[in-house]
Structure 1
Amino acid sequence: MRNLLLLAVALMVFQKWDSIERYLNPPPDFSSAHSGKVVLYATEWCGYCQKSRELMREHNIPFYEYDIDKSREGRSQYDRLGGRGVPVLLVNGEVIHGYNAKKILKAFSKIQDASLL
């Protein structure tokens, strides 16, 4: 019985490791190195990366972009943020994996709300 319980716990930890690791080791805030609060980790060939660029331009969101295929520094940051696909956005310390317009706009609105205080 004890072995079964240990196996179940080990399986749960394995399945939730990304969440656990981010809690134990939060992603670094790379945005402070750039003038903007939004950093896009993308590639030239990615359609969702292009959609992310268009969304941010439509909403006048200033952003800094790394092409992870061409930038060693960008690839390193992308890896440390747990990137497994593109795009990855870092919005004022919040990591967004993939293209999700609602999440991107919501995260950026938090920046604007904070600047009004």
Structure 2
Amino acid sequence: MVNNNSNTAKVVIYTTQRCPHCKRAKEWLKANKVLFLEFDVGKAGKMQKRFFNMGGRSVPMIVVGDLQLPGFAPKQLKQALEHAGILA
């Protein structure tokens, strides 16, 4: 479930089109019914600049509230979502 409103998104995922880990992370979020906002940072632009400015070096980078999770580690992602009250 992709949320297109950045003001209400509690989960943001920075991806690129050819990233297999990004695809798995998005599938995991959808399977767990987590709304998220996705930004493709594979092309130069405002979101890519934002990604690099926040310390992004690899994708996926998943942001839950103020917490940045580089890569896709389902256990850590689940814990972060539970801590944020997004996942029960």
- 2:45 aligned residue (72, 75, 97): 72
1:30-69 aligned at under 5 Å gives the runs 33-69=6-42
More strand by proportion, 1 or 2? Answer: 2
User: Aligned residue pairs: how many?
Assistant: 81
Which residue number corresponds to residue 3 of structure 2? none
1:1-117 aligned at under 5 Å gives the runs 33-70=6-43, 72-112=45-85
Q: Name the amino acid aligned to 2:11.
A: V
Rg larger for: 1
RMSD: 1.5
TM-score w.r.t. the length of structure 1 is 0.64
Q: For 1:102 and 1:93, locate their aligned partners in 2 and report how far apart those are by CA, in whole Å.
A: 18
More helix by proportion, 1 or 2? Answer: 1
Q: For 1:44 and 1:77, locate their aligned partners in 2 and report how far apart those are by CA, in whole Å.
A: 18
Contact kept? 1:66, 1:74, Cα under 8 Å: yes
TM-score w.r.t. the length of structure 2 is 0.83
Deviation at 1:71, TM superposition (A): 6.2
**Identity between Structure 1 and Structure 2 (%):** 26
Q: For 1:40 and 1:71, locate their aligned partners in 2 and report how far apart those are by CA, in whole Å.
A: 17
Q: For 1:34 and 1:101, locate their aligned partners in 2 and report how far apart those are by CA, in whole Å.
A: 25
Q: For 1:39 and 1:80, locate their aligned partners in 2 and report how far apart those are by CA, in whole Å.
A: 15
Contact kept? 1:34, 1:64, Cα under 8 Å: no
Gaps of 5+ in 2: 1-5
Runs of at least 4 residues of structure 1 off by over 2 A?
none
